Amino acid sequence: MQTLRTPDERFQGLAGYDFAPNYSEVPDGEGGRLRIHHVDRGDANAETVLCLHGQPTWSYLYRKMIPVLTAAGHRVIAPDFVGFGRSDKPSERSDYSYANHVAWMSAWLEQLDLRDVTLFCQDWGGLVGLRLVAQHPERFARVVTANTALPDGAGVPADAAGPMRALYESLPVVDVSELGQRFAATDGAPGFLYWRKFCAETPELKISDIMLHAGGRVLPDEVLSAYDAPFPGPEFMAGARQFPSLVPVFPDDPAIPDNQAAWEVLRRFDRPFLTAFSDGDPVTRGAHVRFQEEVPGAKSQKHVTIAGAGHFLQEDAGEDVAAAVVRFMADNPLPR
Residues labelled as active-site residues: 123, 281, 311
* Residue 205 CB neighbours (<10 A): 18
* Residue 29 CB neighbours (<10 A): 15
Alpha helices in the chain (DSSP H): 65-71, 98-112, 124-135, 161-170, 179-184, 191-201, 207-212, 221-228, 238-246, 256-266, 288-294, 313-331
Report the alpha-carbon distance of residue 76 to residue 203 in Å, rounded.
37
Terminal CA-CA length for the chain: 46
Report the alpha-carbon distance of residue 240 to residue 242 in Å, rounded.
6
Kindly calculate the radius of gyration of the chain based on its CA atoms and give it in whole angstroms: 19
**Bond prior to 56 in cis (omega within 30° of 0):** yes
Q: Which of 239, 297, 209 is nearest to 83 (CA)?
A: 239
For CA atoms 307, 140, 36, 77, the dihedral sign is positive
| Phi, psi for 44 (deg, rounded to 5) | -65, -20
Please report, for residues 27, 32, 96, the alpha-carbon distance to residue 1 in angstroms, rounded to integers and kept in the order given. 11, 7, 11
